Amino acid sequence: MDMPDFGPLEERLGHDFRDRSLLLQALTHRSYLNEHTDYTFDHNERLEFLGDAVLELIVTEYLYKNYANPEGDLTNWRAALVNAKTLAGISRGLEFEEYLLLSKGEARDKDTKARMYILANAIEAIIGAIYLDDGTKAAEKFIHKHILSHLKHILELELYVDAKSKFQETAQELLGVTPTYKVLEEKGPDHQKEFTVGVFLDRDLVAVGRGTSKQEAQVAAAEEGLEIKGWRTKNGN
């Protein structure tokens, strides 16, 4: 297999690989190997395992050195920075989705929860690849530039607070009302259900969310409700 032209991607990542096979492996999903038995590289799960540890250590060290907050706060902030939703968003910003090696089935399933996890795992694998290619400093540079740069936004909008808790606390504080959730639609077979849930303030439907469980759909509805009401900011306006 000829090595793809990674130049534009390396420029966006801010790292020129000495060993580009590491980057290729980081972008190879397990499903691709199922359809390409003659492929000579491994999939990215081992690099993801390594990158996850490197990411957590560097983010933890940064938070420890720069904030005097208690452990609980730092844990919540770290979780908001390195969760799959945040990492997938960063991945899309880096525009490396087109480079991913996926099975035909996985390649078709865009904008799904499965794709979100593939993107999040791939960015962790890229961190692992950068670490192996050029050491801790190179990985730290990447993480500071592309991931820790989102911390200010997370803190300003309190994205580290559970959406349901945030929506309830703000509704009670501003309106004196406790939100309620109602399943509006339930479809699909038992093993692949999709729930549509509405969040209400009194009798008014504020927002709708969807998910593969009622809890997931409630969280999605609360997140949408926070956006609609403009309640993501600390003062609720």
Residues belonging to the active site: 52, 124
Per-residue CA distances from 4 to 8, 28, 37, 98, 225 (Å) = 11, 12, 19, 11, 43
Using DSSP, state whether 206 is helix, strand or coil.
Answer: strand
* Residues 206 and 228: beta-carbon distance below 8 Å: yes
* Residues 184 and 196: beta-carbon distance below 8 Å: yes
Position 228: which residue type?
I
E-strand ranges in 39-193 read 180-187
Using DSSP, state whether 177 is helix, strand or coil.
Answer: coil
**146 is written with which tokens?**
């592309």
- Strands of the 204-211 sheet, one edge to the other: 180-187, 194-201, 204-211
Using DSSP, state whether 222 is helix, strand or coil.
Answer: helix
Rounded to 5°, the CA angle 49-54-59 comes to 130
Q: Which residue has the tokens 């490197």?
A: 54
